[in-house]
Structure 1
Amino acid sequence: MLNIKYELTKDLKQKPDFNNLGFGTKFTDHMFIMDYTEGKGWHDPRIVPYQPISLDPSAMVFHYGQEMFEGMKAYKTEDDRVLLFRPEKNIHRTNVTNERLCIPQIDEDDMFQAINDLIKVEKDWIPTPKGTSLYIRPFIIATDPFLGVRASNSYMFMVILCPVGAYYKEGINPVKIWVETEYVRAVKGGIGFAKTGGNYAASIKAQMKAKERGYSQVLWLDGVERKYVEEVGTMNVFFKIDGEVITPSLEGSILAGVTRDSVIELLKSWNIPVSERKLSIEEIYAAAEEGKLEEAFGTGTAAVISPIGELNYDGRVISINDGKIGEVSQKIYDTITGIQTGHVEDTYGWAKEIK
């Protein structure tokens, strides 16, 4: 168990209007920090005022990108409880990423305690209007002041929090997606399955290209054959074809999303056919031509469900479900957000209360 030191600020910030929140722009009064030193391990856990951090210009994170992050949310229920959604999945995935990036493993109970205790301090920052939540960003950076390609010997683990509204300004309405054929996000054997900034840096160019053409996000194809769909933007992706829901299988280049796993479990419990397999873009377009492409949606912590209303692949534009959210997509969204906020009975044991 961590012996967390507290340094609480007396200069509290003015909270934003919870009815008019964006995403990732306002941060709470405090943050969690813990250091790692080779030979000593993780040490000095503390909750301190939210503040800039001081690093040597030669800190290895700046030059070699050895870092990782996670994304979670906290929700306040009508009876004033605070719930997290499957936090053990994100915490376990932290160490999966750490293993790939040669970052020291972090005790999973310690990580949960850090998040739990920071949220207890910042409970008043959790918004309650529909669709809002408190976003949780744990991350680890390499801090050795050294120029040379190797694993760092020192690190900082931090957790910051921000109250957020809907991730997409379109809300739950279907979005238009550009199918990217020039750039790739990741390949098997790389770091596509890890939650690390390099994956997102690699995606920015294609996202800008898509937005210039009036599209909200990018549908990524595999990096070898440029044939099979992988992820949509920063989310996993699902397609409902002729009654069956299909999502790309995890083969090393796709993030094992917590929402993805939850959707698969929900569909199985509802006796809706669901499969994880390779799915080509041509199969999707053939299904559309045959009238069998019924729904498509992305899944992720930030947006939960993001329905897809249109795809553009090499100038071939298809509309999905007349640009409207599908029945299955809506049911998934209502169920997951209902469990997260305590409005739907949690028969899966997914919600964990902050205590």
Structure 2
Amino acid sequence: MLDPLWPDQPAMPPAASWQMPVELAGRAVADKINDLAAQLNAKDCDAVLLTRVDTVNWLVNMRGADLPCTPVNLCFAFYHRQAGLCLFGDSARLTPVIGSDISVAPLGELPERLGKLGEGRLMIDPDSLPRMLFDQIVASGVKTLETDCPLTATKACKTPAELDGFRAAHRRDGVAMVEFLCWLDQAVAASPATYSETEIAARLSAFRHQQDAFLAPSFDTIAGSGPNGAIVHYRAIAGADRRLAADDVLLLDSGAHYRDGTTDITRTIAIGNPPVGAVSAYSHVLRSHIHLAMAKFPVGTIGSQLDAIARAPLWSAQLDFAHGTGHGVGHVLSVHEGPASIS
């Protein structure tokens, strides 16, 4: 339906599939599939359709470059407790990086495969299932269980190897950031107005590219100077962006994917001597960080409760911010990952 409406859509990027070693993933594919089978058994289901792309890539320890800033191969997966696992997507991209015990088929064959389920019960995640597939499943008469993706929580619980990878990635990222800050100090000392927001973002990206195991940015860098720093998810456009000015505040929200981990960091940088009000607000935000970092809370505490703990010091100063406090981060996957969220 979309193709006729979007005739000039860009071509897919070149294939860049790779297999994440068990040493970095922390779990073998067979182990993950066994856990998935156990969850199906517990829910009295015969099969599951996985329609979250990051989850499918995580399941088979695979990464790619089909999307900007998200290192995945575009595909869905169908797992049957007797027939095994099949990925649906571009076989030229998928086959070279998966085991021989996993089959690959064109996405167009997925409806036919679902229609052969017969009396079996199919687990689906309605929040990620394309409407066309949902309608086809309903029309086929297949019995379904609508539930959250069975792998979301498992994927969010990082293995020791994944945690080590995050730490290693942050060490490299920290080197890049220190090199950038050193350059920025020297650059703005001469003339702050020489550099625009997009030029600042490009400089930071260049330092990250020099680090070992760098893959790609984890999202488009947000470089907001002066009043632009207060715009949530601000996007600078070359030629229409703002140049740095003396006594500015520069907000940098950026991150990167490395082969062993993903980063997402925000830094607020003083250019000269920023206004007293900005310094005061920054100090209150620091108090909020400390308040949350030192909080002790029982098992079962939810994100909105932690969000209130973080905001309390700001509220006491009659301040607030119009966005979430924190989110989960995927392991060389999507930089925003559920279900964890402090908001």
In which range does the TM-score fall when normalised by the shorter chain? Answer: under 0.3
Larger C-alpha radius of gyration, 1 or 2? 2
State the TM-score, normalized to the length of structure 2: 0.23
| TM-score after normalising by structure 1 | 0.22
More strand per residue: 1 or 2? 1
Structure with bigger helix share is 2
